[in-house]
């Protein structure tokens, strides 16, 4: 099993970033996904080049700014997938910022590179949305 991590401080207030991220059906920051539906704690979408994906929302904690989910259906034979996104408030001389940590456990290891790439381009998309570029 591989563990992948994306970690950065964003120059936006925590509540502003959480507003975008906590809407589990919002996809303007996720490349290759045109729409996401959610029913009974399961979000479903079709990702270009991959196919239909379903993720079980395990935690959506508005108080502690944490989202955790696991892929439960995908065309690829994943044995394990667990993603945790945690936001923290960061105060600095420049003003209020937001700490972002996205950790994903993935098995088998052969899928780690593709998942890592997906995390990186999705994070870039989130920053683009926050900057008002999308």
- Domain borders along the chain are 2-130
| Whole-prediction pTM | 0.90
Residues 54-72 have pLDDT tens digits of 999 999 999 999 999 999 9
The tens digit of pLDDT for each residue in 78-88 reads 999 999 999 99
CATH superfamily of 2-130: START domain (3.30.530.20)
Judge contact between 16 and 100, C-beta under 8 A.
Answer: no
Cβ(16)–Cβ(130) below 8 Å: yes
């Amino acid at each position: 099993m591989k563990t992948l991590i994306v970690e950065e401080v964003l120059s936006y207030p925590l509540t502003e970033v959480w507003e975008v991220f906590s809407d589990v059906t919002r996809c303007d920051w996720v490349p290759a996904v045109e729409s996401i539906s959610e029913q009974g704690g399961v979000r479903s979408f079709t990702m270009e080049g991959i196919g239909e994906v379903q993720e079980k929302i395990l935690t959506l904690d508005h108080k502690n700014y944490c989202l955790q989910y696991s892929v439960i259906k995908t065309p690829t034979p994943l044995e394990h997938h667990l993603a945790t996104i945690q936001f923290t408030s960061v105060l600095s001389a420049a003003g209020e910022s937001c700490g972002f940590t996205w950790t994903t456990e993935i098995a088998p290891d052969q899928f780690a590179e593709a998942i890592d790439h997906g995390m990186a381009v999705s994070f870039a998309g989130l920053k683009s949305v926050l900057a008002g570029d999308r």
